[in-house]
């Protein structure tokens, strides 16, 4: 495929100040600063721009500038242009304070007002809450009390809230309620970094800018959908957090549900934020709530034990730092969900995500129905294979379609071939953090790629019954998969009961040997 003329119509964002809560933390150095530099390179940052960092650490503005200067060279994905960095760093300021201390917000306010004059940012602000979730509500409350959330005379104030947004349905409802005591819904930008990924955004373009797909995109032609987000890393240094979350909370109501809703939603009538988000929300509302008695069969949980990958020995989850030696936290989950609407009735959506799996891959595989009758039965082709469209999200980015074709020769033999679109080959590599578009959209007031309150709550409603059943019946077989494989055998059994199998990412065949040590039931994909 070749790259047609991409249209570039974006303009620099309007003048504004970005306030970063948690300015000395991980997200700021790894993602936010590199993303801001990339935006500056693309001329999308306003020339009247400034950053005020706020955190608990004792530091001066000079010290923060110096620290970020070192870190940005370590974490930026593109070469750092000294002049561009100089331009940005001169606009960075720091305020030290406790997130719960009203006096600190007065100091913050004085700093913001000073910076607004110096940099002529016209009173527009956005606050980025790159902090632990327990601080979301107190910070917003303090901001309100300090008069830092008002919008008047055309000035805007937006607040970006990181994930996790609540840890269950009740806490998400409560958090929404508390934020809305200070802010209105249009000021709240609930971020999900999956929506910053090019290939995730491309899902909408791919589906709705190509007329050949829409007629096929339904229960008449699609057998089932598999959504996979597999990681090879373990819990790294986040054992403490992960113990309170687990794979289901950490990945499903947010990242996997973005992929699910963008795959399944009806065409929106426009790309206006609410037009798109209404359609995504409809899907979440149409997911059949899992009945408690079926949950243990259709919602599989796993936890990794010792294992190995590429010859490297890997520890069990229970031996990771800050993890309880008898932990019941799941590091893997596989779910079968059904969407009860006209388009998707009887088309299962299988979702799986886990840590310490055999390969790092995020993808959506759309499995079409098999050809309807046995035209080839008198030939060596006994079993024509279904077409499959795979949307590769990461690390490969692209789309491939599997087709059956005749292998050249005098006997009729079927081969599988792939038509591929490869992002980097066709459009070049972008070297973006994924936060560029989201930061820019927040500055221009476009909330399309952010979560609305009702969407977050609808996502939690889907998984709440699962959380309840799992809590009442803690897993008794943990650890139940060795690190370095595709999860517990029960996940394969769940598919096998439906006569299906997970796609083997490497061979594009049904997965038959999940772990080197064992082979699971066979099925034809």
d(CA 376, CA 288): 38
Of 72, 61, 9, 74, the closest CA to residue 37 belongs to 72
Q: Identify which of residues 195 and 295 has a Cβ nearer to ligand BG6 in the complex.
A: 195
Q: Identify which of residues 65 and 356 has a Cβ nearer to ligand BG6 in the complex.
A: 356
Q: What residues contact residue 278 under an 8 Å CB cut-off, 6+ apart? A: 268
Q: What is the DSSP string of 252-282?
A: IIIIIHHHHHHHHPPPPSSSSHHHHHHHHHH
Taking residues 120 to 159 in sequence order and writing x for each that binds ligand BG6 by CB under 6 A, - otherwise, the string is ----------------------------------------
Is omega for the bond preceding 164 within 30 degrees of 0, making it cis? yes
Rounded to the nearest whole angstrom, what is the least distance from the CB of residue 105 to ligand BG6 in the complex? Answer: 28
d(CA 130, CA 33): 12
255 catalytically annotated: yes
Q: Identify which of residues 234 and 348 has a Cβ nearer to ligand BG6 in the complex.
A: 234
Residue 18, CA distances (Å) to 11, 175, 197, 228, 442 in order: 18, 23, 22, 35, 10
- Of residues 182, 298, 362, 514, which one binds ligand BG6 by CB under 6 A? 362
* Residue 223 found at the interface with ligand BG6 (CB under 6 A): no
118 secondary structure, DSSP code: H
Q: Identify which of residues 180 and 238 has a Cβ nearer to ligand BG6 in the complex.
A: 238
What number of other Cβ atoms are within 10 A of residue 467's Cβ? 19
Q: Which residue's Cβ lies closest to ligand BG6?
A: 250
* Residue 250 found at the interface with ligand BG6 (CB under 6 A): yes
Contact 482, 517 (CB under 8 A): yes
Rounded to the nearest whole angstrom, what is the least distance from the CB of residue 304 to ligand BG6 in the complex? Answer: 14
Q: Is 342 helix (H, G, I), strand (E, B) or coil?
A: coil
Rounded to the nearest whole angstrom, what is the least distance from the CB of residue 147 to ligand BG6 in the complex? Answer: 33
- Helices vs. strands in the chain: H and E counts, helices first: 16, 18
- Of residues 231, 330, 363, 492, which one binds ligand BG6 by CB under 6 A? 231
Q: Identify which of residues 217 and 481 has a Cβ nearer to ligand BG6 in the complex.
A: 481
Q: Which of residues 376-395 bind ligand BG6 (CB under 6 A)?
A: none
Q: Which residue among the candidates 255, 328, 418, 524 is catalytic per the annotation?
A: 255
Q: Identify which of residues 462 and 501 has a Cβ nearer to ligand BG6 in the complex.
A: 462
Q: Which of residues 20-39 bind ligand BG6 (CB under 6 A)?
A: none
Q: What residues contact residue 166 under an 8 Å CB cut-off, 6+ apart? A: 133, 172, 173, 174, 175, 456, 460
Rounded to the nearest whole angstrom, what is the least distance from the CB of residue 21 to ligand BG6 in the complex? Answer: 18
Q: What is the DSSP string of 129-189?
A: E-S-GGGHHHHHHHHHHTT-S---TT--EEEEEPSP--SSHHHHHHHHHHHHTTS-GGGEE
Tokens in use for 480?
Answer: 């139940």
Taking residues 162 to 191 in sequence order and writing x for each that binds ligand BG6 by CB under 6 A, - otherwise, the string is -x----------------------------
Number of residues that bind ligand BG6 (CB under 6 A): 5
Rounded to the nearest whole angstrom, what is the least distance from the CB of residue 363 to ligand BG6 in the complex? Answer: 11
Of 103, 3, 18, the closest CA to residue 52 belongs to 18
Rounded to the nearest whole angstrom, what is the least distance from the CB of residue 478 to ligand BG6 in the complex? Answer: 18
Residue with tokens 């029960």: 490
Q: Identify which of residues 128 and 344 has a Cβ nearer to ligand BG6 in the complex.
A: 128
Q: How many CA atoms lie within 13 A of 384 on its CB side?
A: 19
* Residue 329 found at the interface with ligand BG6 (CB under 6 A): no
Residue with tokens 């034990």: 305
Q: Identify which of residues 127 and 163 has a Cβ nearer to ligand BG6 in the complex.
A: 163
> Can you give the binding site for ligand BG6, defined by CB under 6 A?
163, 193, 231, 250, 362
Q: Which residues are catalytic?
A: 255
């Amino acid at each position: 495929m070749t790259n047609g003329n991409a249209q570039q119509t974006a303009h620099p964002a309007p003048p504004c100040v970005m306030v970063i809560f948690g300015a000395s933390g991980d997200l700021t150095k790894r993602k936010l600063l590199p993303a801001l530099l990339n935006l500056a390179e693309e001329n999308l940052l306003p020339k009247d721009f400034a950053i005020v960092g706020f955190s608990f650490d004792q530091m001066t503005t000079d010290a923060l500038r110096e620290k970020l200067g070192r870190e940005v060279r370590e974490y930026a994905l593109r070469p750092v242009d000294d002049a561009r960095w100089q331009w940005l760093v001169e606009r960075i300021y720091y305020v030290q304070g406790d997130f719960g201390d009203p006096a600190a917000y007065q100091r913050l306010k004085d700093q913001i007002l000073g910076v607004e004059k110096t940099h002529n940012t016209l009173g527009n602000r956005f606050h980025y809450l790159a902090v632990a979730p327990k601080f979301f509500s107190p910070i917003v409350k303090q901001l309100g009390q300090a008069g830092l959330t008002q919008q008047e005379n055309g000035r805007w104030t937006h607040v970006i809230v990181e994930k996790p947004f609540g840890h269950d349905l009740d806490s998400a409802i409560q958090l929404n309620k508390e934020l809305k005591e200070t802010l209105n819904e249009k000021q709240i930008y609930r971020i999900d970094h999956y929506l910053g990924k090019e290939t995730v955004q491309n899902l909408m373009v791919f589906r709705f800018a190509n007329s050949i797909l829409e007629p096929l995109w339904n229960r008449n032609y699609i057998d089932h959908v598999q959504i996979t987000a597999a990681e090879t890393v373990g819990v790294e240094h986040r054992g403490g957090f992960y113990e309170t979350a687990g794979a289901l909370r950490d990945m499903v109501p947010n990242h996997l549900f973005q992929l699910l809703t963008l795959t399944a939603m009806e065409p929106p009538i426009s790309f206006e934020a609410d037009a798109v988000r209404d359609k995504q929300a409809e899907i979440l509302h149409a997911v059949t709530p899992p009945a408690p008695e079926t949950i243990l069969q259709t919602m599989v949980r796993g936890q990794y034990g010792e294992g190995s990958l590429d010859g490297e020995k890997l520890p069990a989850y229970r031996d990771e730092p800050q993890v309880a030696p008898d932990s019941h936290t799941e590091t893997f989950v596989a779910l079968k969900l059904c969407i009860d609407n006209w388009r998707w009735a009887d088309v299962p959506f299988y979702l799986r995500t886990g840590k310490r799996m055999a390969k790092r891959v995020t993808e959506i595989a759309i499995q079409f129905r098999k050809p309807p009758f046995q035209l080839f039965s008198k030939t060596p082709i006994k079993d024509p294979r279904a077409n499959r469209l795979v949307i590769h999200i990461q690390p490969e980015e692209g789309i491939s379609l599997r087709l059956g074709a005749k292998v050249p020769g005098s006997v009729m033999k079927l081969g599988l071939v792939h038509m591929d679109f490869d992002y980097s080959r066709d459009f070049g590599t972008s070297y973006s953090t994924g936060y560029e578009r989201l930061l820019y959209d927040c500055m221009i007031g476009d909330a399309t790629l952010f979560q609305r309150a009702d969407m977050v709550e609808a996502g939690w409603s889907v998984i709440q019954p699962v959380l309840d059943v799992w809590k009442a019946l803690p897993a008794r077989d943990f650890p139940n998969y060795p690190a370095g494989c595709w999860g517990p055998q029960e996940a394969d059994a769940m598919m096998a009961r439906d006569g299906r199998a997970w796609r083997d990412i490497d061979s594009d065949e049904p997965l038959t040997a999940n772990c080197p040590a064992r082979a699971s039931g066979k099925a034809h994909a």
